[in-house]
Amino acid sequence: MLKDIIKKEILDHLLSSKFVFMFIICSVLILLSVHIGTVEYLENRKIHEDDEAGIMWALTPPNTYGMIGEGAVRLYRPPQTLGIIVKGVEDAAGRASYPHLPEVGLSESMYESNPLTAVFGAFDLMFIVKMALSLFAILLIYDTICGEREKGTLKLALSNSVPRDRLLLGKFIGGYISLCIPILLPLLLSLIYLSLHPGIGMTGEEWRRLAVIFFMFLVYLSVFFCLGLLVSSLTARSSTSLIVLLFLWCVWGMVVPKASVIIAGMLRPIPSQNEIYTQKALSSNEVSQELAPRQQALMEQFNVKMIPMGGGSYRIEGDYQGYQVALSELNVERARLVAEKSAKIDSDYQLKKAAQASLAKNLSRISPASALTFSATAMARTGVDDYNRFLKAMLDYKPVLSNWLRTSPDIRNEKGGYKEIDPVTLAGMPRATVAHDSLSLTVVRVLPDLIAMFVMIAILTVGAYFAFIRCDVR
């Protein structure tokens, strides 16, 4: 009996014009998004290779080590292969970080070169799944119960001693299979396209991560499918069911994620970049004021006097050379104290920023769209956590590089300037490294979001069951 119900449900969907329309649109959108993502990835990889070549040129003779302090050393964030499927913050976040700048951050984002990208957003497969395919799931299921109730076929089916729970289960299985058919075929073609493209070359781990992402897509669509089943069981008319579902699709999928960010910003405010810059400037002045008596004591120790000669010029008396040697040591300490205070300000800012982001994530997790975004971007290594991990690597690298430039005796000449770059000395320069989570650790990180979606599915399914058991089919 269950098999016959499933078969009937599938045939009803396959023979409908609605299914044909969905199949065509799904195929076009999925294949087009993968192709566009591939083209953008190859372009970004070419840009990244050119950037790396520029660094190598800047660090070769006859250039001097002064190039390092002028921005020749920087860390470029490589494009992620799975950004083809899940763009995440790939375009929004900057590509490069310059450790010589006072403020460590990321610049040169794709939005800077093409502002229209920021206006319209990324066109990737995750966007297609979150917006178009979830809407198709609603359009496929919205009248599965109330539509048959309007036509009188539901009353006729139940008059044949068909258990309600079995009928609902058959409609669920048959409807979900009908939903997967127009989605899985273009997804399979996308996998073939990625595997045969000569410029991609995905690793085994990336294929496994992609499989997990596709599984997340199906779980996400299941949430809206179960929502449609619940609303269809609760409403008496298919038009009412469609209106309610479209409203919930809008609020649950689009409004809640954005509102959670706004609420978190109000509850956990963080200082602006201008405020951070002002704090660092004030801390630098404090260090200078603290060390001013010691500098004055050095002038007295070496009997250094600056006698004005008029016109803004001075005549220096005393052991000025000895004073300069001692002052350079004091300046090293000044730079160390300023760097420590700046690092403390950056650390406090990052803690506040992380607290705000954590609150926003927890609030938005009541939306399946947010749960999918967090889990899929983490799996594709294109999420906010990966961005923060890259930024932290630069924050850790900046004082290390500064200390090497300040203390290395092999890069300065007798006059205090920089020597020509020597490959042997350059080999000892510290390098920045960015650690990435393994697949197993990433799966552990995304489990809360997956569990949240499964909980939504369970609640909606149980609600649909009780609603259908108690509904009046007359």
**How do residues 130-139 score in pLDDT, each as one tens digit?**
989 999 999 9
Mean pLDDT of 196-204: 89
Q: Which residues are within 8 A (CB) of 148 and not within 5 positions of it... i.e. 6 or more apart?
A: 154, 157
Residue 38: what pLDDT? 93
Residue 353: what pLDDT? 83
Q: Which two tokens stand for residue 71?
A: 């921005």
Residue 33: what pLDDT? 93
Which residue's entry shows tokens 């950037």?
A: 51
Determine if the peptide bond prior to 198 is cis (ω within 30°): no
Angle at 401 between CA 397 and CA 405, to 5 degrees: 170
pLDDT at residue 119 greater than cutoff 60? no
pLDDT digits (tens, 9 = 90+) for 15-27: 888 888 889 999 9
Q: What pTM does this model have?
A: 0.81
pLDDT at residue 387 greater than cutoff 90? no
User: How far, in Å, CA of 250 to CA of 265, rounded?
Assistant: 22
Residue 111: what pLDDT? 65
User: How far, in Å, CA of 255 to CA of 412, rounded?
Assistant: 58
- Report the chain's mean pLDDT, rounded to a whole number: 84
User: How far, in Å, CA of 327 to CA of 339, rounded?
Assistant: 18
The shares of helix, strand and coil residues in the chain, as percent rounded to the nearest 5, are 75, 5, 25
Domain residue ranges in the chain: 1-268+365-474
CA of 466: how far to CAs of 137, 156, 233, 459, in Å? 21, 20, 9, 11
* 332: confidence class by pLDDT, cuts 50, 70, 90: confident
